[in-house]
Every structure is written in structure tokens, then in C-alpha cells.
Amino acid sequence: MSQRGIPGEEAQMEADRVDDDGKDPEVPHDVDDDDDDDDDDDDDEVQHLWQVRDIQLGLVSGTLLLAGFLSGLAGWDVAAVVLSALALLVGGSTFVPGAVKKLARGKLGVGLLMTIGAVGATALGQVEEAATLAFLFSLSEGLEDYSLAKTRHSLRALLDLVPRQATVLREGAEVVVDPGELIEGDVMIVKPGERLATDGVIRTGRTALDTSAITGESMPIEVGPSSEVYAGAINGSGVLEVEVTSTADNNSLARIVHIVEVESSRRGATQRLADRIAKPLVPGILVAAALTVAVGFLVGDPALWLQRALVMVVAASPCALAISVPVTVVASIGAASRRGILVKGGAAMEVLGRVRTVALDKTGTLTRNQPAVIEVTATGQHTRDEVLDWAAALEARSEHPLAKAILAATETVPSAVEVEAVVGAGLTGTLAGRRLRLGRPGWIEAGPLAADVERMQQAGATAVLVEVDGHTVGAIAVRDELRPEAAAVVADLHAHGYTVAMLTGDNPTTARALAAEAGIDSVHSDLRPEDKSSIIRGLRDSGRVTAMVGDGVNDAPALASADLGVAMGAMGTDVAIETADVALMGDDLRLLLIAFEHARRTRRIMLQNVVLSIALISVLIPLALFGILGLATVVLIHEVAEVFVIANGVRAGRTKHLGVLANTAPRPSVLGATP
């Protein structure tokens, strides 16, 4: 089962962020957290490569190393040694202090291997090689810090969508304030073209909002009085008065950034694999080095075998392995968030990339969640308007999704009394002394309307019957239309090998009709929430990784039972974001396709980095042990490899392949996009 994080529980979040070693997993090196606590680069300050401290020291070390090399060519041997030693000291300052601190706490890391290698090389008189090691390692550490800072900056750039000023009504006058000064209950004035400073509810005004930067959907959203609006959305042509419902530090954008940054520390299977390999490797290679030195004493050439042992220690350094997955995860999650896809950590990202079965809820996921009355049939002398009035009289007291559709279909709503809900069946009540019932076929006998009810259901509509004084008087067909992109999305999923199922509480006839329209063969209908959860467990037992896509609230049991829970249209919905592993901020199903492709691409990059890192160590250790490669060569190969995996991991942060959802018309396959 997937693991969930609850953003509102700070203590629990902090506990979840600490790994088995008691270390914060957000630190780039899960194995070699060797940096000085005081030396960690502040992400809020690092915006350029040259601002990274390790890069600065690395460049100084490289300059001194080059000067020493040139001095050697000129025959100034003493100067060459002094300059190389200075290069070693400057470069080593980026990792040696941290390695010593960790060792004092009983922890072994990559930095310790590098420290041993540098000290050993110096002891053997190879100061230049030791300086080269320190120079290259400091640069790779700096590049790593910069890459993580950059990807986190790109995520936090979401907060830049909030304007620097907001206009509010205070004591009858318009006042310009900082968004941080807004409090709940304030009324913001949002003029055409301005961004919303925080979340709120429209009190007056109508407009079309551009939410593309938040949800990934570029089609404007029509809003008016009582509509909820969110920070960062751009107002269209109307002037709005918006009542503030959240402060700037707790609005939808701030919550998204906070959740992503916290949850990005959660590890996926690939990252755990890297950890499992790297953690025993450090003490293991130290033991192997000690045995190698012992062999040297046995064969009578301890100096030679000591040198090889030191080279082997450096060759076994899992720097690339340690950083390969974290960089990829941070970059990938940041990129997804900028397209309205909120992925809660590396574990969720990896499972998302392995999903092969997709279970879709019907209402609000496959459909628009905007049911409307499409047909009314009456018996005997009764009229369409009478049937609707009787139905509306009962539904006026109901919160059922169909109530809104029925109430919208009639101009007058009579006031019924003694209205009671019968769970799973319908409503009862009294109007003008007449006993009314409204509910599903079976609870109310269709009688003369049986053929009409069957026809309505076969057309994909939900049929409800109206009964007055024990006589069935009419049938109302309510239909929630499929999303325009639903059929194309399902076809795309099928084309790429996904198994697609639909889960719904609707009757079998209606469910089959809508499923056929969407192109779904596997249909599960007449389900209660616990039934959906049971179906999901059955799909998981088939051995295929299963994702449940629902609304994040009503489908909570099914979302929790799936390998991966995906919430649709979660913008501004705390429960949806907290329940699901992945939250799609927009309502366009194509976001699901984009999420799948992005996750699969990310997983490929993770595996590429892990395989390369393991292969590199496997090749370098024997070459170092038998003296084929020297210290300088091993260091160079290692650091080039680390730069490569960092660069490869950062590729996961590219957003070009994610696209922008410009309309709801079918479009070429998203899943078939090239990396």
C-alpha cells in the first residue's frame, strides 16, 4: 500500500522526513553527508553557479593546481609542491571536515573514502594526484549542490505567481497592501489582468480566469459570485470583489510548494536500492583495502599494495550512486508541479512510472460532474412540469448530486414537509397532503414506465422515479456527460498497454452505456465505497501495479487501497491532496497521460543513473586493485561520471515534453511523446 503524508501535522511530517539513520533525506547525499553544517548552501541565496561555495573553493584549488603544474614544467620543483599542497588544502576543505565529523559520530561516508585516498596519496609523495582528487571532488560536490538548489528554485517559482501588491477594501476605501498582510475576511479588489494574491470566494463580478500556470489547462474558466478562486490565477476582463479565505502563507500555492518539498524526501524503490548498495559499500571497501595492505606485507612489497589499496578506496567511492536518484527526483517533481501535477515524493513518482492498470471513477473523473435533466416522462394525465415540481419539492432538502440537476430544471420549487432520506434508495415527503416518493427503480416500481426507464439507462442516463400516493407518475432521466477528452484518453491508455477499468455506484445499464462510449470494457457498477476498495485489492492481486483515479474524498478507501492514488481536479482541495499520492490540479484527463509519461521517463533516467554508477564501480575496483589505473585517472573518471549522472538527472526537470493543454479536442498521443 502506498504511504501518505499529512501536511497539516507538522510533527509527523518531520518524523517522516528522517530516514533510518536519523538523517534528513533532503540532504543530497544519503551516504556522504559530509558537508559542514555551516557550509551548506542556502537554496534561497544560490541562484548562479559561481555563488556555490564548493564551486568557489574548487576553482581556487584548480587555479593553484594549474599554477603548480606550470611551475613544475618551469623547473621550480619546490614551488610546484607548495602550490599543489595549497590546492589540496583548499579543495579538501570542502569535504574533509565533514568526513571527520561524521566519523566522530560513528558514521562512514564517501567523503571518508576521499579523505583516506588524499591522505594516502600524500603520504606516498603523490601530492599532485591528491590535489587533483580534492579539486575534482569539490567541483562535483558544488555542481550537485547547484543542481538541487536550481530545481528547488524552479519549484518555489510557483510562489512568484503571487503579485507583490494587493488592493483591499478597508473602512470603505481601497488600500494597497503586501499580500502577507491579508487576513481572512478581507475583500480584495482584483482588476482586469491582475493576479489573485491569495485564495478567496467571489462576492461580486464575473470574469474568465487564466489558471494555466497552476493547473496546466490554458482554457479560461468562467467564474462569478460564490465561485472559489485561487492564488496566482489571472483575472480576465471583469472587476472582482473577492473575500479572502486563506492567508498568503497558507494559500493553495504555498501548500503545494510545502507539500512537494516535504514529500520529495520520500524514497522510491530505486532510491532505496541505491542506498542499500552504497551503505555497506563504504565499510566493505575499507575492509578490502586493509586486506590488500596485508597481502602487500605477505608478498614483501607493502608500499606497492598500499598504493593500490588507496586507489581502490577512491575507485569504490559511490558518489555518483548516492546522488543519481535524489537529483532526478527533485528535478522531476519540480517539473511536474509546474504543469499542475503534484507528486508526493520519489516513491510515488516511481510507482507512477510502473502503473499498468488504471481504475477510473465515473462521476467527476470520466464525467464532467455536471448532471443535467435530459428527459422527463409522465403517466396518465400528469404533465412534465408536475413531475418536476414533485421531484424538486423533495430534492430541495437533499444534498444528492442529482438534486442540483433536478432543481435547475424547474422554475418553481414547492415546499415539501416531513422529507426523509432513505439510504441507498431515495426520498420521501409530503406536499399539500399528498405522500411523495422519489428514488431509484426497484425501490419504486416502474410499472407503465418500465420501457422508458430501460431506454433512459441504455442511453447512459440515471433514471429516477416519482411516486404520488402510491402511484408511479413519472420518470426523470439525468445524465452526467463524459468529458470531451475521455474517449481519446482511454484509447491512448489502451494503445500503450494499460488495462483500464471503470468503478461506479451507478446502475449496470447506465454504467455499461457510458463505459462503451468511453471505450472501457471492464465495468464494475452498483458499488459502495467499500466495494470499490475491494475491487482495487483484487486488481492489485493480479500482479499489475494499479492506480485508482478518483475525487480524493468519496473515493478515499479505493485511493488508499491502490498501489497509487490519483486525485482529479484537486486544486484547493486539502483532502484530495492529503489522501492521494498524486494530485492533478486541473480537470482535464489528459493530465493523467502526461503524468504517466513523465513518470516513466523519470524512472528510465533513475535506472540509467543507477546502472551506470554500479557498472562504473564494478569496473574500476579490479582495475585499481591490479594497478592498471592510477589515482589521478580513477579520480578523473569518477568525477566525470558524477557530473554526467547529475546532468542526466537534471534532464528529468525539463518541461518541454509535458506540453500545455490548450483545448479539449482529441490530440496525438501524449504517452507516445519522445523523451
Contact between 30 and 265 (Cβ < 8 Å): no
Rounded CA separation 78/322 (Å): 38
The residue with cell 584549488 is 61
Helix axes 77-92, 127-156, angle to 10 degrees: 30
Contact between 33 and 102 (Cβ < 8 Å): yes
- For 113-129, give the secondary structure using H, E and C: HHHHHHHHHHHCCCHHH
Sign of CA dihedral 306, 310, 313, 315: negative
Output the CA–CA distances (angstroms, integers) from residue 351 to 336, 347, 549, in the order listed. Answer: 15, 6, 14
Strand order through the sheet with 187-190: 173-177, 166-170, 187-190, 240-244, 200-204, 228-229
Helix or strand run (H / E) with residue 279: helix 269-299
Rounded CA separation 56/52 (Å): 6
CA-nearest of 406, 318, 398 to 642 is: 318
Contact between 182 and 188 (Cβ < 8 Å): yes
Contact between 125 and 8 (Cβ < 8 Å): no
Q: Which of 33, 199, 361, 555 is catalytic?
A: 361
User: CB neighbours (10 Å) of residue 105?
Assistant: 7
Rounded CA separation 34/323 (Å): 13
Please name the residues in contact with 200: beta carbons below 8 A apart, sequence gap of 6 or more.
188, 228, 229, 242, 243, 244, 245, 246
**Cα end-to-end span (Å), the chain:** 29
**DSSP codes of every residue in 612-639:** HHHHHHHHHHHHHHTTSS-HHHHHHHHH
Rounded CA separation 205/243 (Å): 12
Q: Judge whether 361 counts as a catalytic residue.
A: yes
Give burial (CB, 10 Å; 0-12/13-18/19+) of 487. Answer: middle
Which bin fits 470, alpha (ψ -120 to 50), beta or left (φ > 0)? left
Q: For 301-413, where are the alpha helices, taking DSSP H only?
A: 302-315, 319-337, 346-354, 384-395, 401-408
**DSSP codes of every residue in 179-221:** GGG--TT-EEEE-TTPBPSS-EEEEE--EEEB-HHHHSB-S-E
Contact between 617 and 321 (Cβ < 8 Å): yes
Rounded CA separation 330/335 (Å): 9
Rounded CA separation 264/256 (Å): 12
DSSP 37: G
Contact between 249 and 180 (Cβ < 8 Å): yes
Contact between 453 and 483 (Cβ < 8 Å): no
| Residues annotated as part of the active site | 361
